[in-house]
Amino acid sequence: MLEKLELLVKEAHKAADVIRGHRNLIRVISHIDCDGVCSAAIIVRALSKKRKMFHFSFAKYLNDEMINWLAEEAKQGRWNLLIFTDLGSGAAANLAPILEYAKVIVADHHMPSMNSEAENDFYTHPNLIHVNPLLFGVKEDVSGSGMTYILARALDPENVVSGDLAIIGAIGDAQTGSIGDKWSVLGLNQEILKDAETAGSLRVMKSIRLWGRYSRPIHKALELSIDPYIPGITGNESAAVQFLTELNIPVKTNSSWRSLSDLTKEEQQRLVSAIIIERLRHHDPNPTQIFGDVYELPHQTGEFRDAQEFATIANACGKSLQGYLAVGACLGDEDKIERVRETVAAYKKQIGLLVSWVDKNKDNTDVVRLTDNAAFVFGNEVRGLPLAILKQCDAIAEIPMKGKKESLNVSIAAGITRRSKLTVTIAPV
């Protein structure tokens, strides 16, 4: 494994050498989700430290239209170096029009393009530098922001300060296996985590696994907790309030709702003990399995202090086509914070409208069809489902969206669908 990692790092240094020696404008394009936003923040910080001129933007995916547009820009001499972060590997074989006029660096973790079906026959080109673990047989868990971090470290060891952003990206990407059963990162992400801890940009602590430590009222955090599941409390707001009242844990201070971070150490201990007792009473096989790693960002404040909440914020901004705001927040631009909060609030409102739409239409036979057995197949956020699979479906559903949002996370789309009680198939709309 060490030899494979050395080859991956060598490729990152090759890309870093090209960036270091480049004197003209650099074009940077990143994906629109949390991982892409964090990748963009990492590379923007790295290029800024080297006083490089660059223009960055976000893309949902790379299709022929965008590739041809970028190729035309390069042909006109606007730039001759392009960096893709958390994007580009899957489209590498289609980048030839750009590669004719410019060098391209890809820092990504997705499956690379293949020349053929033969194993490891990946697409290559003299002008393409591809920083992707799969090209070197490294199958350890790492995100696109993790790959961008490795590139940034190769460019300048001082970019170790961006390790926290790579961890936020990994959390937001929720790649299979990247987050352990106790909310702990695995694989190469663990090595990046060590860098972040050493740099002081991230702190790890053990705590109860409740989402919304800083932003969510404690009774709502209990009500909406699925992992860990709290019998009699999960899904029941009034029961959550009563539960806290019986524990002598006030849900408010004056007129402000209290969050988990507001609880005293003694209150947290009472809460943890009571949750374990409830799980024991309901014969949960693992009643004490409610703890996990919590990643805190000491240099941030409020809801931005928790890495999981930050990941949700970055994702909401990216999906709302306001990723640049989240990049600003990642890099400590306080002027962007309030606009980020406004964007997140609007995104949550959009999700609420979609859930309301499902509730409103779940009994409408023109929209749904009742069935005893239904299998739901969810498509990729960027590409959707392959045509071959769509042809085998009895019905094809699309969740209607308003405004500028281009797609929902698959997990959110699944949650909206589950709201329909899993007994209906949404008909085409």
pLDDT digits 0-9 by tens, 163-198: 999 999 998 887 434 455 555 677 888 899 999 999
Q: Are 304 and 333 in contact (CB under 8 A)?
A: no
Q: What is residue 168's predicted lDDT score, i.e. its pLDDT? A: 94
Q: What is residue 417's predicted lDDT score, i.e. its pLDDT? A: 66
Of 148, 167, 192, the one marking the end of a domain is 192
CA neighbor of 18 nearest in space, from 163, 144, 150, 127: 127
Residue 11 maps to which CATH number? 3.90.1640.30
| 154 Rama class: left (phi>0) / alpha (psi -120 to 50) / beta | alpha
pLDDT digits 0-9 by tens, 255-265: 899 999 999 99
Q: Is the pLDDT of residue 244 over 60?
A: yes
Q: What is residue 421's predicted lDDT score, i.e. its pLDDT? A: 46
Instruction: State whether 70 and 154 are in the same domain.
Output: yes
Q: Is the pLDDT of residue 46 over 90?
A: yes
Residue appearing with tokens 């609420």: 352
The DSSP annotation for 11-72 comes to: HHHHHHHHHHH--S-EEEEEESSHHHHHHHHHHHHHHHHTT--EEEEEES---HHHHHHHHH
Instruction: State whether 98 and 175 are in the same domain.
Output: yes
Instruction: State whether 231 and 314 are in the same domain.
Output: yes
Spacing of C-alpha 379 from chain mean position: 17
pTM over the 0.85 mark: no
Q: Is the pLDDT of residue 293 over 70?
A: yes
Instruction: State whether 39 and 168 are in the same domain.
Output: yes
The reply to whether 412 falls in a domain is: yes
For the segment 23-41, the average pLDDT, to the nearest whole number, is 96
Q: Are 102 and 80 in contact (CB under 8 A)?
A: yes
* Cα–Cα distance measured from residue 6 to residue 136, given in angstroms and rounded to the nearest whole number: 9
Instruction: State whether 279 and 390 are in the same domain.
Output: no
Q: Is the pLDDT of residue 418 over 70?
A: no
Q: What is residue 180's predicted lDDT score, i.e. its pLDDT? A: 53
pLDDT digits 0-9 by tens, 359-388: 777 777 776 666 667 667 777 665 666 666
The reply to whether 11 falls in a domain is: yes
Element (H, E) at 316: helix 307-319
The reply to whether 201 falls in a domain is: no
* Cα–Cα distance measured from residue 369 to residue 359, given in angstroms and rounded to the nearest whole number: 14
Q: What is residue 175's predicted lDDT score, i.e. its pLDDT? A: 47
Residues 6+ apart with CB under 8 A from 155: 16, 19, 20, 46, 50
The reply to whether 385 falls in a domain is: yes
**Average per-residue pLDDT for the chain:** 86
Instruction: State whether 185 and 166 are in the same domain.
Output: yes
The reply to whether 200 falls in a domain is: no
pLDDT band of residue 408 (cuts 50, 70, 90) is: low
Strand-pair category, 424-426 with 252-253? unpaired
The reply to whether 56 falls in a domain is: yes
pLDDT digits 0-9 by tens, 93-110: 999 999 999 999 999 999
Residues 6+ apart with CB under 8 A from 412: 351
Q: What percentage of the chain reaches a pLDDT higher than 70? A: 83
Q: What is residue 43's predicted lDDT score, i.e. its pLDDT? A: 98
The reply to whether 198 falls in a domain is: no
pLDDT digits 0-9 by tens, 220-235: 999 988 878 899 898 8
Instruction: State whether 86 and 151 are in the same domain.
Output: yes
| 210 Rama class: left (phi>0) / alpha (psi -120 to 50) / beta | beta
Q: Are 397 and 366 in contact (CB under 8 A)?
A: no
Instruction: State whether 354 and 338 are in the same domain.
Output: no
Of 320, 342, 364, the one marking the end of a domain is 342
* Cα–Cα distance measured from residue 242 to residue 320, given in angstroms and rounded to the nearest whole number: 37
The reply to whether 371 falls in a domain is: yes
Q: Helix (H, G, I), strand (E, B), or coil: what is residue 283? A: coil
Q: What is residue 40's predicted lDDT score, i.e. its pLDDT? A: 97
Instruction: State whether 383 and 333 are in the same domain.
Output: no
* Cα–Cα distance measured from residue 147 to residue 151, given in angstroms and rounded to the nearest whole number: 6
* Cα–Cα distance measured from residue 67 to residue 100, given in angstroms and rounded to the nearest whole number: 12
Note down the domain range covering 141.
2-192
Q: Are 304 and 297 in contact (CB under 8 A)?
A: yes
Q: Are 31 and 39 in contact (CB under 8 A)?
A: yes
Q: At 305, phi and psi to the nearest 5?
A: -80, -25
Instruction: State whether 19 and 103 are in the same domain.
Output: yes
- Count of domains in the chain? 3
Q: Specify the range with the lowest mean pLDDT, choosing from 116-125, 312-321, 401-410.
A: 401-410
* Cα–Cα distance measured from residue 102 to residue 240, given in angstroms and rounded to the nearest whole number: 58
* Cα–Cα distance measured from residue 8 to residue 15, given in angstroms and rounded to the nearest whole number: 11
Q: What is residue 380's predicted lDDT score, i.e. its pLDDT? A: 64
Of 325, 342, 359, the one marking the end of a domain is 342
Q: How deeply is 310 buried, as exposed, middle or buried, from its count of CB atoms within 10 A (0-12, 13-18, 19+)? A: buried
Q: Is the pLDDT of residue 398 over 80?
A: no
Q: Helix (H, G, I), strand (E, B), or coil: what is residue 424? A: strand
Instruction: State whether 66 and 162 are in the same domain.
Output: yes
* Cα–Cα distance measured from residue 222 to residue 282, given in angstroms and rounded to the nearest whole number: 17
pLDDT band of residue 425 (cuts 50, 70, 90) is: very low
Q: Are 62 and 88 in contact (CB under 8 A)?
A: yes
Instruction: State whether 81 and 214 are in the same domain.
Output: no
